[in-house]
Each structure stands twice: as structure tokens, then as C-alpha cells.
């Protein structure tokens, strides 16, 4: 059976940090890997902003817990599971994302860990430097065929090693830069495409 490997934020859920930006009026937190492709650089930037603006982990988690999946995402995943295994490969953190997994029907999530001291984020532990790519490479070595779906620059690493790759909800600038990768703006259209691969 094939595995469909999804990015999470922007693909199936809103961007957690952008929701925090709205709640705190710290516009710099609106930046994502669409703006800063290096995840490590982006996280260092976010942690500094949280320290500068005294934004606690508790507040961040409270915002994350209120987030709902993008419209149609849960039903979309449920339909995909009729013919595929589903894995979420994300540059998010377990401490923030687990409530969202429940709202998405509890797919397998592979992501990173935060380091927290006195209710402030002090750092993070990356699962691997190119975790999305390495996960798909590992699945491939086990004899699985992988399909990758994402929306941003940090998803290109898994697109390079997946059998099939697709953008969903991606900005025009990214889809134009990588025009060889099919893109979709609706789950129903992507679902029809995936059903041709089962």
C-alpha cells in the first residue's frame, strides 16, 4: 500500500504562528517557510520575537488549541485513508500540534520537540536536519511507495524523493518557481488525482 505524506500547516491546518501573530499583533510572527526557507533560521527568529515580546509557551499553546483544521481537511483525509496510509511530516512541534491531530482523525504525526523553561520557549530539538526527506527515504527502503503533498519551500526536500508530488494551497510564487510540480487549490481536485494512483 502507498503512503501519502502530508505537510501540516498551510496544507491541512492554518499556520499556528500566524494565528499567534494575529492574537498578539506581532506582525513579524506572520513569517513562515514561504518567507524564510530555512526552518532553523525561522525558528531562531520566532524564539527571539517571543522573548522580546514576552510571549509565553502557555499562551502559544492556548492559541494552538483553538485552531481548527482547514475547511474540508478532516473529510479529505478520511477519504484518502480508504486507499492509502497517511502520515503527517511536519516542521511543527508535538507540544503544539497534538490537539490538531485529534481534530484531523489522529493520523500519524512525525515532527519536532520544543525546549521549554519557566514557561518560555528556549530552543527546539529537530528530529533531523532534513526530516521530511529522510522519512520518505526510510519508507522507500522499507518497500513503500510515497506520495508527497505540501505547500511551501520546506516541502521540496520530500518532493525530491517521493514517487509523486503535489502542491496544495501553495502561493503562486512557489508554484510558478516549481512549475513542474502539479498544484491544486481544492481537496476535491487533489483527491481525484490521488485516486488515479491507488
Backbone angles phi, psi at 53, to 5 degrees: -105, 10
Name the DSSP letter for residue 9: B
Q: Is the C-alpha dihedral spanning 191, 111, 103, 86 positive or negative? A: positive
Closest CA to 80 of 168, 180, 178: 168
**Which residues are tagged catalytic?**
7, 9
**Whole-angstrom distance, CA of residue 161 vs CA of residue 165:** 9
Alpha-carbon distance values, 194 to 56, 62, 76, 152, 184 (Å): 41, 35, 11, 20, 12
Amino acid at each position: 500500500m502507498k503512503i501519502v505524506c502530508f505537510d501540516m500547516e498551510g496544507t491541512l491546518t492554518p499556520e499556528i504562528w500566524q494565528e499567534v501573530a494575529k492574537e498578539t499583533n506581532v506582525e513579524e510572527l506572520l513569517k513562515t517557510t514561504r518567507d524564510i526557507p530555512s526552518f532553523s533560521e525561522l525558528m531562531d527568529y520566532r524564539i527571539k520575537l517571543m522573548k522580546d515580546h514576552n510571549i509565553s509557551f502557555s499562551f502559544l499553546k492556548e492559541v494552538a488549541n483553538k485552531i481548527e483544521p482547514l475547511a474540508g481537511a478532516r473529510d479529505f483525509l478520511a477519504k484518502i485513508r480508504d486507499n492509502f496510509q497517511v502520515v503527517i511530516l511536519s516542521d511543527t512541534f508535538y507540544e503544539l500540534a497534538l490537539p490538531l491531530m485529534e481534530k484531523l482523525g489522529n493520523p500519524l504525526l512525525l515532527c519536532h520537540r520544543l525546549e521549554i523553561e519557566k514557561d518560555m520557549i528556549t530552543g527546539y530539538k529537530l528530529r533531523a536536519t532534513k526530516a521530511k526527506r529522510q522519512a520518505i527515504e526510510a519508507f522507500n527502503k522499507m518497500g513503500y511507495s510515497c506520495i508527497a503533498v505540501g505547500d511551501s519551500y520546506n516541502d521540496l526536500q520530500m518532493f525530491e524523493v517521493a514517487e509523486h508530488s503535489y502542491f496544495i494551497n501553495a502561493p503562486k510564487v512557489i508554484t510558478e518557481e516549481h512549475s513542474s510540480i502539479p498544484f491544486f487549490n481544492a481537496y476535491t481536485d487533489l483527491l481525484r488525482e490521488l485516486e488515479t494512483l491507488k
